[in-house]
Structure formats: structure tokens, C-alpha cells
Structure 1
Amino acid sequence: MVASFGLPPQSFSFEYVDKDKNYHIINNIKPLDFYHKYGGGDLLDYVSIINSPTDDKPFHQTYGIDYLGNVIGGHPIRHLNLPMNELKDFNHQTNG
């Protein structure tokens, strides 16, 4: 990847507007510091939610996608297949 895209940044600036429309900027933060301060948690505790209404993927089950988890030593990526109405309900619940 480095040959194609270059070295990952050692630090970056992050700009955002909060819910009260106040502008903020965090300058020169390192990627892991950003993750620990603003993300945190174990990423393995999360699941990808999809809507794939196909005969080979019944709803309310998890699935992998061939060739998606192609990193040696990486964790398999699982997707929970939900009907669109449940996906919309879930999105509404999490975003208020």
C-alpha cells in the first residue's frame, strides 16, 4: 500500500461543527490518539448491517462476503442482513 498510496500520515487536523453549530479544530493529532479519545471501544464489538433481499441470504442471519476479508491474519467481516423497514427503524433509533 505504501508503494501505491504513500506513507500514512503521522498526524492530521480534524475539523467539525458540533450540534450547537460551533466550529472546532483539533490540530496535529496522531491517528491512535484520535481513536482512543474520540472512538475507543473494541471494533470487534460492532457488526455491519446490510439489506440484501436475495433468496440465498435469509434475513436475521449473518453472512461473510467472499474475498472481502482478504487480509492475512485479519478478522472475518460479518454482515447482519435485515429487512429495510428494520434497518430504517434501527437508523431512526440511533440518530434520534
Structure 2
Amino acid sequence: YNAAALENLEWAMRQDPEILIGWHQLAIAYARNDQNGMASLASAERYSRAGARQEAVLHAKRALHNLPEGSPGWLRAQDIIETGKSNRKQRG
């Protein structure tokens, strides 16, 4: 993927973040550009929005290991992990 395609996918996901296939395509684009942390974060977003808590947390933890600590992506990965934990506690 070239930079323009990646920018278009990022824009599309900001406009309508509920389109799960968009997160999947964005993860692929990041991976092809050797941005593995962002690829993991996009996958975590996809699974989180699909209600697949375990998969979301798994990918968010991967993102944490590949993104700069304190960066917006790193913070979002933390949010996904915390949401997964709180959902688990609510279920019992």
C-alpha cells in the first residue's frame, strides 16, 4: 500500500468507525508498510467493535509492545484493554 491509500483508509475509519471491514483493510495496509503496532491496533479496534473482547485485548497487548509508550495509539490500546477488563468484571 502506498501512503495515499493508507491515508484514505485512515480517513474513512475516522468518518465511519463502525465499518469492520475497514479496520481489517487498515490493519493489512499498516502491516504491508511495516507498521506492526498500528496493524495490531487496527485489529484490536475491529475486534472490540465486533464484541470479540478476548481477541481485542490480545491485539491491543501486541500493539502496546510495538508502539511508543504514551503515543495516541498506545493510549488507545490501553483503553481497549481496560474496556475488555471492565466488561469481564461486569459479566461476573
TM-score, shorter chain, exceeding 0.5: no
Larger radius of gyration: 1
**Structure holding more strand per residue:** 1
